[in-house]
Structure 1
Amino acid sequence: MRLLFAYRAFDNIAGGVQKTSVDLMNEMVGRGHEVHLLTWDNANATSYFPLHENIEWHKIDTGSFKKRATWMARIQRMMRVRKLVSNICPDVVIGYQDGMFVAMRLYTAFMNVPVIAAERNAASRFQYIQAGKHKNLVFQSFRLAKFITVQCQSYPNDYPAYLRHKIRVISNPVYPAKCVAEPEGPNIDNKILLSVGRLGFQKNYAILVKAFAEIAAQFPDWTLKIIGEGEDRAKLESLIKSKKLTQQILLPGTTESVSEQYCSAHLFCLPSRWEGFPNALAEAMAHGLPCVGLDSCSGVRDLINPSRNGYLAKSQNDHDYKALSETLKKAMTDHTTRKIMGENARNDMTQYDPSVIYTMWENLFLESMK
């Protein structure tokens, strides 16, 4: 097969979408397929994650992906995309996220090439973002998709009935952990409540800081560590300082050895407002960590089974830190249950074996050609 993967931007972006996409493209090359990558990036763009040498990256280099494109830029992009598609004749085009899908579907109109809409977030995100007012337009555009991919089993329920026959659920792959955590930690003086993610609105870290602050005095042997960077760092630092917890709540930034962070932790929490496939949560579970999340977040709810591998806080809304605080307290108190849940979490992640996930993608590409 000849596959064309389309994204807004790849230039030195260390994002989850880019990481999982590079893995998928590299795997497809390894399986003997011809793979092309299309982005709006400029000609000097480089990939943060290593691309297979046989992947041809087409950088459209018109306008800036950081700004709303002018009509002239859109026309130039359309002409370049149509010329590219005419030259390489892809069997399938995969447009990542709704904006790029719409562009590729419009720019390849009447070219007789199937386009897959690869969604990377739950539709519930529309209640939080400015683009939410265009939700119905996005859904209408998906009528033009050959298929729509979502990442969790509950996500099709958030789509209109007229689209559900097009939806296929393909989760992200979860790789086996290089080490295993010991979440019980009964004899360790300093236990770690870990979180990993971008310090931004979506991940909702203020609620975690507030929840931990409520119980910090009761658990002097616990430290909250949030790995990541983002635009909310200053706000979070100010909040931590106001709680007088600069020694018990840490923001160490990013790390290249995140696996070591999972293995040295005793509990994991992801307080997201919404998710696509929560990679950090899945990785934590693969390392044998019991996890805590908000019941209001469907992606988190899909992975955490409260009776088996973790805890879900029954928050009234995305800033109800009291409910999260009580849930954390329960998990931090019971080291025996943490051990059992950690073992279950690790076993549960085997269902996302990479070879199985990549075969699902490959089969979808083949189905799209029919």
Structure 2
Amino acid sequence: MDTQGSARRLTRRGLRPAHYALRRTALWALRPVALLRPAPRRGDRPRVRFLLQHAHGSGGTIRTVLNLSGHLAREHDVEIVSVLNRRATPFFPVADGVRIVVADDRLTPPAGRTGRLLARVPSLLTPVDDASFRSMNLRADLLLLRALWRRPPDVVIGTRPSLNLLVAELAPRGTAAVGQDHMNLASYRPALRRRLERAYRRLALLAVLTERTRAEYAAALAGAPTRLEVVPNALPELGGGPSRREHKVLLAAGRYTRQKGFDLLLDAYAPLAAEYPDWTLRIFGAGPMRDQLRKRVADRGLAGRAEVGGRTAKLGAEMERAAVYVLSSRFEGMPMVVLEAMSKGLPVVAFDCPTGPAEMITDGEDGLLVPAEDVAALTAALRRVMGDADLRDRLGERALRTAEEYRLDRIGPRWARLIAELRP
């Protein structure tokens, strides 16, 4: 099936208005069905359902949702609906008590002629400007609706724009609709942003990661009954011990996409390679820009001095063997990897990009912040920490204390209280 090819054709500028018109018609037809679903049956344990695009994947949102779900499962019935699945086993561990239900299992080809036909039709429910559109189709829409409406929970929580929209517009009657924004409002394309600003007014709660994002939504949703709460992501358990900052390694990790700015990082590191020949830059990740970044390593003469590696399930151990973590992103929501590095005692050098780093790092105390996308400033900050072991130790020890504020035993209870207040 050529779902991606169909999606690319449909996302041409001239056809976007037609898709949005079809989407509005589909929602208009489906809302009465959602309202006719039976209301949740109240039990002793609140029932919570998360919607994740790919629960078996390796992204930061997946990791933090699984982390939170494990904590909530102690006193809640927790189910994660994975919109689709492409892996036989989860990349991250799933805690006892957390049930994962796959809506569209891509490991098994669609059965029957109708299923194959629906899988070739682009999604009607996912906005064309959402990054997940190309992985969706009409068959996935129907399977997701079935999972959303099955045995309505007390609370349903979306975890990305397309799923937050679905929750806001089609949550079952009597179920509290909650959205999580793991990025920030300004990072979305204008057409998608307009739809978020309209639909999020239907949410009972929108949870965001930073005060800056909360302020953006407060202005956009002025007058709406939607409750806005800042709830940072909680630190997951990482393997390995704390770093002693003895190995002269600069570490970075993330998806190989433009957002993460690894091209900028390589440019910033290039002048330092000759100055500090005993240091190495190691980057871990996966994504469409991997080959381009490896070519950049060669073009900058960094072979043997900078590594663009694959993703790792043992990032904690890699942090233990590093001295400094670098965040070079052009934009973020709340970069969890910064807190993970701080929890290992690593000083973090970061672009002050929107949003997150400035609310996580106190410049000069537990890390260093430089202006967003300022390559020369990043080079200068890296030079400071690479050349000063005492500075690395001072920043790293303070980072350990900062990370304590984001432990799961502090963040998890905040979610439990919100769920109790939202429960019908």
1:206 maps to 2:251 = no
Q: Is the 8 A contact 1:179 1:263 kept in 2?
A: yes
Mark the CA change 1:81 to 1:107 in structure 2 (over 3 Å): closer, same or farther. farther
Q: Which amino acid counterpart does residue 227 of structure 1 have in structure 2? A: F
Q: Aligned equivalents of 2:87 and 2:392: distance in 1? A: 48
Q: Is the 8 A contact 1:124 1:274 kept in 2?
A: no
Q: Alpha-carbon deviation of 1:60?
A: 2.8
1:331 maps to 2:385 = yes
Q: Any stretches of 5+ residues in structure 1 without a counterpart?
A: none
Q: Aligned equivalents of 1:97 and 1:66: distance in 2? A: 12
Q: Is the 8 A contact 2:328 2:350 kept in 1?
A: yes
3-state SS of paired residue (2:179): strand
Query: 1:167-316 residue pairs with structure 2 within 5 A?
Result: 167-175=228-236, 178-183=240-245, 185=246, 191-315=248-372
Q: Aligned equivalents of 2:331 and 2:367: distance in 1? A: 18
Q: Is the 8 A contact 2:78 2:97 kept in 1?
A: yes
Q: Aligned equivalents of 1:56 and 1:314: distance in 2? A: 43
Mark the CA change 1:323 to 1:52 in structure 2 (over 3 Å): closer, same or farther. closer
Q: Any stretches of 5+ residues in structure 2 without a counterpart?
A: 1-45, 105-117, 124-131
Q: Which residue of 1 aligns with 2:14?
A: none
1:94 maps to 2:157 = yes
3-state SS of paired residue (2:49): strand
3-state SS of paired residue (2:409): helix
Identity of aligned residues (%): 25
Q: Which amino acid counterpart does residue 209 of structure 1 have in structure 2? A: L
Q: Is the 8 A contact 2:210 2:356 kept in 1?
A: yes
Q: Which residue of 1 aligns with 2:422?
A: 368
Q: Which residue of 2 aligns with 1:114?
A: 176
Q: Alpha-carbon deviation of 1:203?
A: 0.8
3-state SS of paired residue (1:253): coil
Q: Aligned equivalents of 1:42 and 1:134: distance in 2? A: 25
Query: 1:200-231 CA distances to partner (integer Å, 9 max, x unpaired)?
Result: 22111000000000222111121111122221
Q: Is the 8 A contact 2:83 2:140 kept in 1?
A: no
Aligned residues: 351
Q: Aligned equivalents of 2:96 and 2:371: distance in 1? A: 48
3-state SS of paired residue (1:159): helix
Mark the CA change 1:101 to 1:50 in structure 2 (over 3 Å): closer, same or farther. same
3-state SS of paired residue (1:148): strand
Mark the CA change 1:296 to 1:254 in structure 2 (over 3 Å): closer, same or farther. closer
3-state SS of paired residue (1:30): coil
3-state SS of paired residue (1:250): strand
Query: 1:49-60 residue pairs with structure 2 within 5 A?
Result: 49-52=92-95, 54-60=97-103
Q: Aligned equivalents of 1:364 and 1:201: distance in 2? A: 35
Q: Aligned equivalents of 1:303 and 1:44: distance in 2? A: 33
Q: Aligned equivalents of 1:336 and 1:325: distance in 2? A: 19
3-state SS of paired residue (1:281): helix
Identify the match of residue 67 of structure 1 among 134, 139, 142. 134
Q: Alpha-carbon deviation of 1:162?
A: 5.3
Q: Aligned equivalents of 1:272 and 1:167: distance in 2? A: 26
Mark the CA change 1:193 to 1:6 in structure 2 (over 3 Å): closer, same or farther. same
Mark the CA change 1:68 to 1:228 in structure 2 (over 3 Å): closer, same or farther. closer
Identify the match of residue 138 of structure 1 among 185, 190, 196. 196
Q: Aligned equivalents of 2:50 and 2:362: distance in 1? A: 34
Q: Aligned equivalents of 1:345 and 1:44: distance in 2? A: 35
Q: Aligned equivalents of 2:266 and 2:308: distance in 1? A: 11
Q: Alpha-carbon deviation of 1:35?
A: 1.6
Mark the CA change 1:69 to 1:182 in structure 2 (over 3 Å): closer, same or farther. closer
Q: Aligned equivalents of 1:166 and 1:278: distance in 2? A: 24
3-state SS of paired residue (2:267): helix
Q: Aligned equivalents of 2:102 and 2:86: distance in 1? A: 6
1:38 maps to 2:81 = yes
Q: Which amino acid counterpart does residue 347 of structure 2 have in structure 1? A: P
* TM, length-normalised to structure 2: 0.76
3-state SS of paired residue (2:158): strand
Mark the CA change 1:106 to 1:314 in structure 2 (over 3 Å): closer, same or farther. closer
* TM, length-normalised to structure 1: 0.86
Q: Aligned equivalents of 1:191 and 1:104: distance in 2? A: 47
Mark the CA change 1:223 to 1:168 in structure 2 (over 3 Å): closer, same or farther. same
